[in-house]
Structures are given as structure tokens and as C-alpha cells.
Structure 1
């Protein structure tokens, strides 16, 4: 019996000694998972760059939790917003993280994970919504109104000077005297002729002067129409702003948006007059300066930017339209799509997700 026991131990000894070594060798031979390259672009409150260079935000915090759950290392690759999706499409990045709207057009180029945020477009307008007399008085002293008046005065002076050159010698009673007096009389004649008042106290007598008078009378009809339009525009721009209460009012307004975004595409599809700016703060300043009447962009981003920038005299109108969903983007056919989608579902349906949104957006109902 002892003999058989000794023989069995001798047979098992090589296996016992070799097993740990084989396991270590297999662990060394197993390839380590590569570090994921994550394309991002600053879009507060979803992607925020701190003063010390660190990144945070709704999308960044969510992605960090997903990567930890999947056991994957990653590096953030900042880039311009227009380059985020192309980087995933060409394989320069593995994942795109931010406030990326899912669209059919983009789905043809990349794959989207399960959405993590439902939102829509919103409209921000100036806080000043009154159309009272004080608003009219302020616009009467605005640069737009002053420039129209100065331009008209320069034209009247030019026409008057031309008439004075013909009349100053043969019509001294009406346009004579010192140059200043003669030009003043000519300026008066040009003004009353343009407004079709025609007091009759001044009239050219020379052939050249009468030709100028005929041309000016017909041209003045056009000039009066143009000046009236300019004055009306300067005085009623505030009334237009206050009249914007929803997307149905955008067709008669001039709005701002951000170039290359779904909001810009919406405005183009709806044939709404719009100017595309490089970023949200620039578009907001355009509204404040009176260059445009309102800004159309994603609701949470507008709300965050207005709250973040002190002194921003803008407000976001209630309600959204052209509803959309944010998701992470991966390359077409990427094996990351399914595990990232599953992790996203687990996190956004968890108890901590409302706290994460409230951290950046405040008590916004969802």
C-alpha cells in the first residue's frame, strides 16, 4: 500500500509543480485591453473644462462610471465640436462623449449607444419684454437710428450743394449770400422737396438747377421709403423680440444658433432666417447687442449658460420643440456599443442619476 501511494505522489508531483507556472504564463500571454480614446468637446454642462485642466460634467461623470463598471482605461481627447463624430467615424477615437444628438443622418456614419438624456430645442429672448415709451425713446437715441439720420442729412447736403453751385450767381435772392447761407438755403430746399411739402419759397431758375430738381423729386420718393423703413426697423425691433413666445413666431424673426448643430439644421429646414455663430456665448451676445432677436439651441445648454454668465439679460421661454436624445457615439459595428448601452441603462435607471443631473442643472423637472 505504501508502495502504491509513493508511486502516485511521484506521478502527481510534476503536475502540482507546473500548474502555478502555467497559470502565470497564460496570464502573461493574455493581451491587455487597449486604452480607449474618448473624443470630447467643451459643451457645458455636459462637458466642462476646469481652470486646472480637469474635465467634468454630466456626460464626463456618466462615462467615468461606465468605464469603471466595464473595467476599461481611457484617455480624454479634446477637439473641436465639428471633429468629434468624424474622429469616431475614421477610427481616430473609440467613443465620442458629450451632448451628441442622435439623428438618422449621423446613424449612417456611426453607431449610437442607448440614449441617456431626453431634451429638445428652446428659445432664449432678452429679458426686456416691454414695448413702452421708454423702450422707444432708447431706440431713438440708438446708433442704428442715428446712422440713418446722419446718412440722410449728408445726402440732403450733397444735393443742396450741387444745386447751390448752379443757382448762387443767377438766383442770389434765394441761394445767394455767404457760402454758409447759400448752402443752408439749398439744404432747406432739398429737405422740403424730398418730403413733398414744397413750401414754394425756394425754386431754381437755371437749367442745371431745374434738372437737378426734377431728378431729386423722383429720387426723393425712393429715399423717403427707404428712410421710413429704416426708422420703423429701429423703433420696432424691441416689439418683435417681445412678441416671440414660441417656435410659431420664429418665421418673422432673425435668430441666432450655433453652426453645425441640429438646431442650425432645424432652422434651415424650416426656412427661418438665422445666423450661425461659432459657440453659444457668441450667439448670446448677438442677442444682447440687438443683432438678432433670439437664440435657438438645446434647452439644458441654454439654461446652464444663462445661469453661468453673470449679467446675461436673457431668459429661456418655457417648453421645448423638435425633441431629441443625447447618446454616446462609437464606430460603426463597434463591439463597445452593447456593453456601453447596458451600463448606461443600469446607471440612468439607478437612484444616483437624478442627483447627478441636479448637481449641474439644479432642480429641473425631467
Structure 2
């Protein structure tokens, strides 16, 4: 074969070599089919809400959809009635993850794994809104131990001053000479001076007696003014804000919460015996109807329920206690936890996430 023919043969064979399927190396790899995950959820506005058409929305739902879109997952939502039921399904493999307003607790950590928290909150208290003064709180205020203690201090101080005036005046002033009767006169004058009605004919006559009397009259003005202002402020504030002003008052009043929640567990640990309701709406209606004195639930859920249902005569106190975090639950040792955490690392710092929170909860 001539040299020219050899070159032509080699050139003709090059396309065949380039496009020959060498064990499939030239074929583009097929993309794996989308992974379909079953996600347990429950109604917990505004974190998980089910529309009339069965579509799910809410803060937690939008976060999950965002994560699923980044990981190319398809989602099938499965509804449960309670958080424990969701966690049981996730732990047993019936669901791949659980998404709603799920509080991370030590007991739940032993059952499932949690992603990093995506929302920090705590428990809140809803109470009846007081619009008018009521007499019973005022009466209870006057028979309280604190009132008795303050009154005892005032009376005791007046008795000391009256006795001192008697000791200074008993040898020099006629009305103080008689032993027990003179002492009674001194006590009467001191008590009358405290009430701005001291009798002039019983006034001390000696220099030191008048000095003590003058100091006592000035001091009594300050004491009575402070006593009156303190009692008035205490009674008025307590009456206007109701019997509950913080979590420490819950043990003394009729308290309610939602059944099978971390709020119920917390109240039980604080020796509060709450009445359990199926939903927050039921508890708020009981509160508005006067069957409860306080209703405890996750604060954002509580505020959203009061606002959306327009419950009349109910307000949420500006207190937060038993701080807690919401997270996504997955089965123990599931590979989903790492993937979810990696997807959430940047999402929770973006304007998108702030816009989601503002849209459901208002300005943060």
C-alpha cells in the first residue's frame, strides 16, 4: 500500500474512532429520577395551614418546599392530628420527615433527629381583657397580707411616737400626767396627727415634745402619701391587668392549653394543672366565655389565632417564657438531616426568609 493510500485510510477512520461507543463512555449519564418524600404535618397556623383545596401553606411549609426544590425532591404531605403522632410516624419510617411548629425537647430528641432550628420562640399567655373596674379585686387587696403588714407598720410607728411624747410630757403637761390615761393621750395624739386631725388641746408643751411632734407630723405626711399611692397603684394595676401578669400567677388560676403539646408538659412540670383543649380556638373561646383565667400556648401561634379569629375580650400578654426552638424532624440517623441542614445554612439568612416571616407574622 502506498503512503498516500495509508494516510487516506487513517483519516477516514478517525470519525469512526471518535464516535464509536466505547463501553458507554460516550453516552451522557442519565439523571436519577426525582426522590419522592413523605412529609408528616399538622395544622398549626401560621406555620402549617391547609386550604379548602387541600393545598398546604405556611412558614414551615414554604421552608420545606424551598429546601425540596434545591435538592430536587418531590413531596407528598400526610396530615396527622398531633405532634406525637407525627413524630411516631417519622421514627417508624412511615414518613421521611415531619414539618410544622415542632418544638425541640429532650424527650423528642430521644425519639427522632432534628435539623438546625429555623425559628426561636417561647410560650405566651392569653388573658381576658379587663375594661371596667371590679370591686372584688379591690376587696381582696385590702384583706391581703401585704396590706396588713403595711398597716401594722404605720400603727406601730404611731404607737412608738405616742409613747415617746408621753415620756417627754408626763412631768410637765397636765393631760399627760396620769399614767395609763396620759399614755393613752399620747397615743391618741400621735394617731390623730398621722391623719392630719391632731387635737390642739392635747398638743405637747415642752421643747423636745414639740420637736418630736413636728418631726412626726412631717414624717406622717410622707408615710400616708406613699401608703395611699402604693395601695392605689397596686389595686388599680392588678384590677386592670387581671389576675395573671406572668407565668408565676398560673398556679393560682384556671389555666388551659392545647393537648399533646410541649406547653402542656411544661405546665405540668411547674405544678400547674391545666385543662387541655383539642385546638387553640377552643381554648380561646373558653377564655372569652369566662371559663378560664389564662390560656397558654406557643406565642406566635397564640397571637395568630387571636388575630385571625378576632376573639373579643382577649389579649396576649407581652411576656415570653420557656424559650423553645422549632425544627424539622427526621428519622434517627437519616441522611436527610445533613442535606436539610446544608440547604438551610444560607436560606435562613436571606431576604427571602425575612419576607416569609414578615408576610405571616408581621414586621419582626
Q: Shorter-normalised TM-score: what interval?
A: 0.5 to 0.7
CA distance in 1, matches of 2:80, 2:122: 24
CA distance in 1, matches of 2:292, 2:46: 25
Cα RMSD of the aligned pairs, angstroms, is 2.6
- CA distances 1:33-62 after superposition (whole Å, capped 9, x unpaired): 430111110100000111222211001111
CA distance in 2, matches of 1:259, 1:240: 30
CA distance in 2, matches of 1:240, 1:248: 18
Alignment of 1:221-240 (within 5 A): none
1:266 aligns with 2:276: no
Alignment of 1:155-170 (within 5 A): none
Indicate the residue corresponding to 1:18 in structure 2: 21
- CA distances 1:300-319 after superposition (whole Å, capped 9, x unpaired): 00000000002432111002
Indicate the residue corresponding to 1:359 in structure 2: 359
1:281 aligns with 2:284: no
Alignment of 1:264-343 (within 5 A): 264-343=264-343
Indicate the residue corresponding to 2:143 in structure 1: none
8 Å Cα contact 1:38/1:97 also seen in 2: yes
Where 2:95 maps in the other structure, the secondary structure is: coil
Give the structure-2-normalised TM-score.
0.66
Residue 128 of structure 1, CA deviation: 2.2
CA 1:240 to 1:269, structure 2 compared with 1: closer, same or farther past 3 Å? farther
CA 1:5 to 1:338, structure 2 compared with 1: closer, same or farther past 3 Å? farther
CA distance in 1, matches of 2:312, 2:7: 91
CA distance in 2, matches of 1:68, 1:19: 35
CA distance in 2, matches of 1:338, 1:128: 50
Where 2:318 maps in the other structure, the secondary structure is: coil
CA distance in 1, matches of 2:116, 2:244: 35
Residue 21 of structure 1, CA deviation: 6.0
Indicate the residue corresponding to 2:48 in structure 1: 47
Q: What is the number of residues matched between the two proteins?
A: 261
8 Å Cα contact 2:130/2:240 also seen in 1: no
Where 2:21 maps in the other structure, the secondary structure is: helix
Indicate the residue corresponding to 2:85 in structure 1: 83
CA 1:241 to 1:283, structure 2 compared with 1: closer, same or farther past 3 Å? farther
Residue 15 of structure 1, CA deviation: 5.4
CA distance in 2, matches of 1:361, 1:353: 12
Residue 133 of structure 1, CA deviation: 5.0
Structure 1 gaps, min length 5: 137-237
Residue 132 of structure 1, CA deviation: 2.1
Alignment of 1:101-112 (within 5 A): 101-112=103-114
8 Å Cα contact 1:119/1:323 also seen in 2: yes
CA 1:108 to 1:8, structure 2 compared with 1: closer, same or farther past 3 Å? farther
8 Å Cα contact 1:129/1:241 also seen in 2: no
CA distance in 1, matches of 2:343, 2:317: 34
Give the structure-1-normalised TM-score.
0.66
